[in-house]
Structure 1
Amino acid sequence: MRTIFQETLLGPVDLSSLAIDFPADVPRDAWPDFVKEGRDLGDPRYKEEPLKVSDLIDFKVFNDDFRVELDGVVAIEVNPIAESFRVTEGGSVISEFPLSVQMGSASPAESEKLISTLFVPPEFGVTFVGTSHGFDPAGKTSGFILWMGKRGVIVDPPPYTGDVLMRMGIAPRLIDSIILSHCHADHDAGSFQKILRSSNVRLITTPTILGSFLRKYAAISGFSEEFISNLFRFVPVKIGAPIRVHGGDITFQYSLHTIPCISFQAEYAGKTIAFSGDTCYNPELLAEMEANGTIGASRREQLMNFNFGPTSFCMRPACRRSTHRFHCLRSSTRARGRGCM
């Protein structure tokens, strides 16, 4: 459980292998210092001492009677007969909920009805499968399909993307790759689900983010990291070096976020689609971070100049938090449904 929260909230503990994410000619001052950057973006109370999981969560363990006391008054116990958790206060039951829940899915009738209108992918473009954020209980988290050469690369797929694709008439076989931007739950949960439901899918991300993903989902699922890694083909990202995908090029950078997170620009047939990833674009803050030694001059320049070239289409994830602020000088969108260029 600690591993899950560590990777989700704070990122990797060991960053000694960060060099593998970069080509040899990238200057060291262009590398992110994730610990320092996370500190400057996080709670001011933890500026001096790094934030730890134990600062956020007090773990309580059930005793042999499957009961745990929270504060001497409130307790949680397992009711084996009703197969539920029971919350008591002063000996009185104040709440009870099942040990497990069944998640919903699209009904076959709904899927069959809508799949009759098959989607024809564009040569180069995007289709949104989610346009909300992780704090919205009713919406789908941000995720989209990047079409290149009429083949799909899905970026941070929301949970149950397979059902969404069926309702949109998009054949899953058209999507053969996943880009995983980072390991916050509103971005990686659907990736794990897609990996489990697909065969021979490619996972595109940096080795650092992949390591975090494997540790997290090994802890969640009980599968070994080796077992999970055998479910997909890993395509390692080298920051700043383009990757050839379906006749186009995708170039990645590390964005400014509380855990390792990538942005990218995709180029195809003379057009460009840019994705900021979760980031904080704030020139004043970047200048301050360079002045106090959190980032180097090359890192600041890269963060300042993301996507300020001749970009055809620019996107950023939907979020309400200040650490995700981004302003695209060319164009921006939160469009819904199908999109193409």
Structure 2
Amino acid sequence: TNYGDIEFLIYLNFFLGEGSPTRIVGTAHQKRTFYRLLTLVIFGIFDPEAPAPPSFEQLRQAYGVPDPDAFHLFRQAFELYAARQRRDATSPLRRLDDYVDFTVLSPGETVVPIARRRGDTPLGQVRLRPHPPGGFDVRIVLGDGRSSEKRMEVTPPARKETHIPAALRRGDLTSFVIWINGKGFLVDPSPEALTYLRRIGVAPVDIPYVFLTHVHADHDGGLLEKLLSWSRTTLIASDVVFRAFLEKAELITGHDFGHEGLVKHLPANPGPPLSIEVGGDTITVETRWNLHPIPTNGFKIGVAGRTFGYSGDTQYDPELLTAMRERDDLTARQYEDLKHFFWAADGTPRVDLLYHEAGIPPVHTDRRQLETLSPSMKARTFLVHVADKDVPPGAVPSKPPLFSTQALLPPTTQSREAILLDTMRLVSYLHDVPTHTLETLLRGAEICSYHRHALIVRRGPLGEKEPLHFFIIADGEVSVKEGGVVKTRLKKADTFGEWGISHQRGYRVADVVASRPCQCIRLSEAQYWWLVERHPAVQERVAKIRALLPRLEMARDRHRLQGRANVSSPLGLMTRTTSGQLAKLAMFGELRNLKKNQTVIVEGEEPDGFFILLSGHLSATVGGWVVGELSEGDSFGEIALLEGGKRHATIRVVSVDAEVLFMRTRDFRRLLETLPAFSWGIWEMAGRRRHTSGQSQAANEAKEVSPADGVRARDQGTANLGQHRPTSDYPPHNR
């Protein structure tokens, strides 16, 4: 498993299991990392085991705490909600060892006692003994002497996502999308929300914004996956929440998301509103600090005179808030925000629609408190973060049905055209075509809707007067089939039909079928030639993609086969790329053909670009030592570009010949900036490669042999740069 998967189980065992700790077995390094993660998500920016409480200045530097008032509120919430050893406010706080019973793996046999509760007589033991290269011999011994043994292979999770148990999340809505002019703002993304959005055909590029209220697992469990999609996501969050997320993300993944450019941040701090331009309209975002165990925000979003509000996780309890104000635990501004952010003191609504959480008290709002709101406020309030069974039939406020939509502003013709123009700008070969040209194309285009399984293009010869068209997918998904076999799937902003116009007059080489309900922008042959006449580079790009895409797809498929053959190997850069994503790589790359023994890059030289091996086999040497090999689908040359130094290794062709896709430095950096999944894969691979190279060099130096002998050592099993197996105590960038 991975750190993120365990976080929610620890909450459940401790808070719903009457203080039961969760037994975890792992390495000493994993324990240190996981305890820091738990401190962040349970206690927030405070550490109860620190020698002394942090000062305001320390937390301002570390987390961007804006002022002493916010510091005081966070401290009060920490003291209010932290679990204590006894049921009184002066009792010492529970320590992390009360939440987790962590057994550290030993080099030999590790014995894990199993009991119903800590301190009870053990029911038995689980005995673990490492078995190279990455497994364990496991023996279960019961109290009566019976035992059972098996060998357990340990492999990294195929997907690094956090899934909340179904029985607990049924009907408990924590994620939703705010749509403004066709652009989605996904609030507190869960993995389930991303899955549902994919199923109904919402492309990642349709949701360019995420609002994060805080860093608990049921609110940020899908955020890493969303940030690492093949489209840039902007994270809207207060500085404190954002820095807490960066720390959590690095603990889970080993990646510095800020340094590696994996996330763009828009600060939404309490105080002056944040303004964002979305589809020609300016929206305003106002936030407040909530009353919750860790720093959390509620917010309001306003556009065109209408306002939506979301409470975020908070304890709305007027009596408690009044008592805290009387003790000066809250400032006047904090008190007003916590009581009257969404409605005035007389009950008059300040929002047109409100989603208010009603989770398990006291760290959430008791649903009955919201029943005391004014009738006009209750009529526009819906409950979230509460199970169906906890909301009686006919209750007001009620829960919004799953997948329901509340429309505050109707769509317009102008907003629809803006959405379609944005889609056209995403087409790889149209990225720099002027807006007025795209507008002219769109005015002459036809927007076609297709139901699932509808045949859009039929394979075979065209009729004598049958017109030719090319298509841009605006929504949904289509399958390209040959002989009934799906060759590839195309999604939003992918295109088809251009090659039939420019090179295959009168014949279609494949069927194109709607995989799910979809919409396409259909353009005529005359429009295509009009576009090419004004922008000849379009035809050159189409031809380039047509030539390189099949080679990239073949290299990707072979890379996937290698990954299936060795499931313990980390996924490579190419493994999860779609054909549309490969088309972007093709457009910015150039094909190079190489011969046996030809040198591709030389150790110590200045870097000029990045490479993907399409066919053939390469070797990597450092200081004359062979430190690894590269096979089809592997990429190389990234380390010097990332670090700004010289080439770290010499790469040479060892097969009869080879083909590589070469990408110049400027194009490589452009993809790093615009495609987070590409950037993630590059940094992950670079960290893994540095670790592997260091291991290989250390092993060679320990043998004290000549470079020629080093080559023979490679043949006996030195690390492969393309398919490295991580050590049991994971290296940086592959935790």
TM-score range, shorter chain: 0.7 to 0.9
Distance 1:37 1:168, change over 3 A: same
Match of 1:340 in 2: 406
Check whether the contact 1:4–1:217 (CA below 8 A) recurs between aligned residues: no
* Percent identity (aligned): 24
Moved more, 255-264 or 309-318: 309-318
Instruction: Determine whether 1:37 maps to 2:77.
Output: yes
Match of 1:250 in 2: 285
- Deviation by residue 1:282-302 (Cα, 9 ceiling, x = unmatched): 011112223344323332222
- Deviation by residue 1:109-160 (Cα, 9 ceiling, x = unmatched): xxxxxxxxxxxxxxxxxxxxxxx99981555651011112221111101115
- Deviation by residue 1:187-235 (Cα, 9 ceiling, x = unmatched): 111111211224321111112112211212211112235456x201111
CA distance in 2, matches of 1:29, 1:226: 27
Q: Equivalent residue of 1:33, what SS?
A: helix
Distance 1:320 1:305, change over 3 A: same
Match of 2:362 in 1: 322
Instruction: Determine whether 1:296 maps to 2:339.
Output: no
Distance 1:30 1:77, change over 3 A: same
Match of 2:184 in 1: 152
Check whether the contact 2:285–2:301 (CA below 8 A) recurs between aligned residues: yes
- Deviation by residue 1:87-130 (Cα, 9 ceiling, x = unmatched): 544465589887468679xxxxxxxxxxxxxxxxxxxxxxxxxx
Check whether the contact 1:88–1:94 (CA below 8 A) recurs between aligned residues: yes
Moved more, 175-184 or 32-41: 32-41
Q: TM-score, normalised by structure 2?
A: 0.38
Check whether the contact 1:273–1:314 (CA below 8 A) recurs between aligned residues: yes
Match of 1:184 in 2: 216
CA distance in 2, matches of 1:169, 1:318: 30
- Deviation by residue 1:22-43 (Cα, 9 ceiling, x = unmatched): 4x8xxx5466521221322343
Distance 1:189 1:220, change over 3 A: same
Check whether the contact 2:235–2:264 (CA below 8 A) recurs between aligned residues: yes
Q: Equivalent residue of 1:17, what SS?
A: helix
CA distance in 1, matches of 2:103, 2:352: 51
Q: Equivalent residue of 2:316, what SS?
A: coil
Unaligned runs of 5+ in 2: 1-33, 47-53, 115-120, 344-348, 383-398, 408-735
Match of 1:221 in 2: 253
CA distance in 1, matches of 2:254, 2:310: 33
Q: Equivalent residue of 1:322, what SS?
A: coil
Check whether the contact 1:267–1:273 (CA below 8 A) recurs between aligned residues: yes
**What are the residue-to-residue correspondences of 1:165-244 with 2, within 5 Å?**
165-224=197-256, 226-227=258-259, 230-244=261-275
CA distance in 2, matches of 1:145, 1:248: 15
CA distance in 2, matches of 1:87, 1:61: 18
Q: Equivalent residue of 1:325, what SS?
A: coil
Q: Equivalent residue of 1:265, what SS?
A: strand
CA distance in 2, matches of 1:164, 1:101: 25
Letter in structure 1 aligned against 2:315: C
Moved more, 92-101 or 4-13: 92-101
Structure 1 residue 50 displacement after superposition: 4.6
Check whether the contact 1:3–1:215 (CA below 8 A) recurs between aligned residues: no
- Structure 2 counterpart of 1:47, from 74, 89, 101: 89
Q: TM-score, normalised by structure 1?
A: 0.78
Letter in structure 2 aligned against 1:10: F
| Structure ranking higher on relative contact order (CA contacts 8 Å, 6+ apart) | 1
Distance 1:29 1:138, change over 3 A: closer
CA distance in 2, matches of 1:280, 1:52: 24
Instruction: Determine whether 1:11 maps to 2:53.
Output: no
Q: Determine which structure has the larger helix proportion and give its number.
A: 2
CA distance in 2, matches of 1:138, 1:101: 28
Larger radius of gyration: 2
Structure 1 residue 316 displacement after superposition: 2.2
Match of 1:117 in 2: none
Distance 1:133 1:208, change over 3 A: farther
CA distance in 2, matches of 1:265, 1:7: 26
